[in-house]
Structure 1
Amino acid sequence: MTQTAPALITRCIAIADERKAGSAPVPAGLDGVSVVRAHAPAEIEPRLYHPMVCLVLQGAKEIVHRDHAVRFAAGETAIVSHDLVTRARIVSATAAAPYVAVASEIDLDLLRALHAEIEPAAIEDARAAAVAAGTADRTVVDVMARLLDLADKPLEQRVLLPLVRRELHFRVLLSRHGGMLRQLARADSRASRIAKAIAHIRRHWSAPIRTQELAAIAGMSPSSFHEHFKAVTATSPVQYQKSLRLIEARRRLVETGEPVSAVAFAVGYESPTQFSRDYRRAYGTAPRAERGPRTHRSGPAIASPAPRF
């Protein structure tokens, strides 16, 4: 970690304090950037991750993907290349030394534009994974610090934010553990084709899906599509959609207090009984136990771009 890190930790904690944050990520004052400060380890639970790069400044976290845990601690970055539903938890955090991290969304268009400018010889071949972690280069830490320096500064953001974002994407694209991003930056790659299918599922998460239709969107045969979809997401298209539905159901139960049966139907289930079974399997508790006080009805939040880390 560089000399920049202590000041960056202080800045992230200050942002969390200003936003009166608990252990959940909060916006950092500029689009697509969030910080988190957590004082204790957390239970493992399903999370929806959007494409992002996360720099851990203090403490440690792990994401369980493809039946193994990807752990990332202070001085490391984690890169998530696709919209993934996976399990995660904070594994190292105390009141005196909280888990502190800052994350920025990955802009696929910007990534592809940069990739087109880089000579193929400058791009290192590496084993690609949809969730990868490694030591943060000094330049990544410095550019994250400059990114946070723009928070709540409209003029500076208007002039400097595009330049800083571009540099961050450049650094991450060339990082040792950015192999899947380099694949994703090629519009004709399998990683990009699977990303198109994932985007379709996310747009139609409450409607029935057909593997043949998804395979056509990805430009693959059904058997090839299923194999590559699972290689990226570690699950099947049907299970991926079910996980999205359960994440949205949990949000509705906690935030709106709607009846369990109403939530089940709203997220695409035909049977409240089946919904309750799937919910208990995913979260270890009955959906009725998580209902918050009844408030106004709210629309779906699955499309929300806020990174989870």
Structure 2
Amino acid sequence: MFFTELVDLCAPDGAVASAPPPAVCIYRRDAPSALEAYAYEPVLCMVLQGAKTMRSGDQSVEIGAGDALIVSQHLPVISRITQASLQRPYLAIVLSLNLVTLRELYAQLDGLRDSERQEGAISCSQSDPSWVEPLHRYLDMSGDLAAMSVLGPQVLREIHFRLLTSSTGASLRNLMATDGSASRISRSIAVMREQLAAPLKVPDIAEQIGMSNSAFHSHFKKVTGTTPLQFQKDLRLITAMELLEHSRRSVASVAYKVGYESPTHFSRDYKRKFGYNPSASRSLGDTYPMSMSALKTDTIA
């Protein structure tokens, strides 16, 4: 019902809307892309046109028009736009999820549990009208400053509520359950992000989140699709890519900054992951995608 209207709101006359509301990014691509690396924060992505694939470790999804993607954890991912053209570009709405709001809502919804918990941090399903309708209202008020100021926060909270209670939100409900493995793995990821440059001490992290080493490895793989060591390496390399593209640091300085002891080892890992040397990143900075943290302030077009 709201699908055509959403396309018109997000890309009037074929161009990306210039001022999406807070926490929203409108993403448009006019041609299929190569494989691209991102550091995702928790997001909802609704594809309006075109299609893409996404992978984190051994977890992968294909997303087409009308599908909704939930990324419930901070994840390094690889993605590729597979269907896009000038006549019919890839077009998606990306909403940055507020975990504080989700936790507050979950605490008020006593008994909101799933009989089978979904541990994977990436999930894809058909968009649910229960949250598409308030999302449409939220986008529609983006040109009305008074409405956005007064009603915007309430509608954004409603979107989180509808998403959390919908069939789309199973992975979010799992994350909100404080006694669940997804919540514990989320805490471990927070530690790894805060201590990105430090050597990975799996036993210490497992102890902090109340798991044995074997249980930590098992649940970490189920949630992220990869091992803690590979997760750290991927996160280091994507962080390094962003530093190289958006700062004047030398390659060696960036290598040390993200935790590598050898710039040579760093350059070898970097080329293996991205297909080019670290020094080439600066020339690609204007065309290579930003991390999903850009959702807080920027529109990706």
Normalised by the length of structure 1, the TM-score is: 0.85
Moved more, 253-262 or 241-250: 253-262
**Does structure 1 residue 13 correspond to structure 2 residue 2?**
no
Distance across 1 between alignment mates of 2:183 and 2:230: 20
For residues 93-145 of structure 1, what are the alpha-carbon distances to aligned partners after superposition, in whole Å with 9 as ceiling and x for unaligned? 1101111111112222222222233353x655455131111111223222221
User: Could you tell which deviates more after superposition, 207-216 or 144-153?
Assistant: 144-153
Asked if the contact 2:56/2:75 (under 8 Å) is kept, the reply is no
Cα gap change, 1:251/1:305 in structure 2, threshold over 3 Å: closer, same or farther? closer
**Cα distance in 1, alignment partners of residues 57 and 192 from structure 2:** 20
The corresponding residue for 1:297 is none
- The 5 Å alignment of 1:71-82 reads 71-82=62-73
List structure 1 runs of 4+ shifted beyond 6 angstroms. none
| Farther-moved stretch of structure 1 (59-68 vs 228-237) | 59-68
Q: Distance in 2 between matches of 1:264 and 1:175?
A: 43
SS of alignment partner, residue 97 of structure 1: coil
Q: Which residue of 2 aligns with 1:144?
A: 135
Say whether 1:116 aligns with 2:114: no
Q: Cα 1:7–1:191, aligned 2, differ >3 Å: closer, same or farther?
A: same
Show the counterpart of 1:22. Answer: none
Alignment correspondent of 1:298: none
Distance 1:199 1:150 in 2: 34
Deviation at 1:188, TM superposition (A): 2.0
* Higher mean displacement: 150-159 or 171-180: 150-159
Write the letter of the residue equivalent to 2:5: A
Indicate yes or no: 2:26 matched with 1:28.
no
1:56 CA drift (Å): 0.9
Distance 2:292 2:32 in 1: 28
Deviates more, 1:166-175 or 1:227-236: 166-175
Provide Cα deviations, 1:258-284, integer angstroms capped at 9, x if missing partner.
Answer: 332222122221101100111011101
Identity over the aligned pairs, expressed in percent? Answer: 38
- Asked whether the equivalents of residues 256 and 292 of structure 1 are also in contact (C-alpha less than 8 Å), the reply is no
Moved more, 79-88 or 176-185: 176-185
Q: 2:178, 2:148 → 1: CA distance?
A: 29
Q: What SS does the corresponding residue of 1:133 show, helix, strand or coil?
A: strand
Task: State whether residues 16 and 36 of structure 1, in contact with CA within 8 Å, keep that contact through their aligned partners in structure 2.
Answer: no
Moved more, 173-182 or 189-198: 173-182
| Partners of 1:226 and 1:236 within 8 A in 2 | yes
Q: 1:250, 1:287 within 8 Å by CA — same for their partners in 2?
A: yes
**Aligned with residue 306 of structure 1, among 280, 295, 301:** 295
1:30-54: CA deviations, max 9, x gaps? 1x21110110111123221111111
| Aligned match for 2:151, one of 150, 154, 160 | 160
Pair 1:104-2:95 in alignment: yes
Tell me the residue number matched to 2:182.
191
Match among 191, 204, 212 for residue 195 of structure 2:
204
Distance 1:219 1:9 in 2: 46
Which fold has the larger relative contact order, with Cα–Cα distance below 8 Å and residues 6 or more apart in sequence? 2
Q: Is the CA contact (8 Å cut-off) linking 2:40 and 2:291 kept in structure 1?
A: no
- Distance of aligned partners of 1:176 and 1:274 in 2 relative to their CA distance in 1, 3 Å threshold: same
The unaligned stretches of length 5 or more in structure 1 are 20-26, 295-300
Q: Which secondary structure state, in structure 2, belongs to the residue aligned with residue 151 of structure 1?
A: helix
Report if aligned partners of 1:253, 1:260 keep a CA contact under 8 Å in 2: yes
Please state how far the C-alpha of 1:157 moved relative to its aligned partner. Answer: 2.8
Aligned residue identity for 2:99 = L
Matched, 1:57 2:55: no
1:251 aligned residue (218, 242, 249): 242
1:219-230 matches, cutoff 5 A? 219-230=210-221
- In the TM superposition, what is the alpha-carbon distance from 1:289 to its structure 2 partner? 2.2
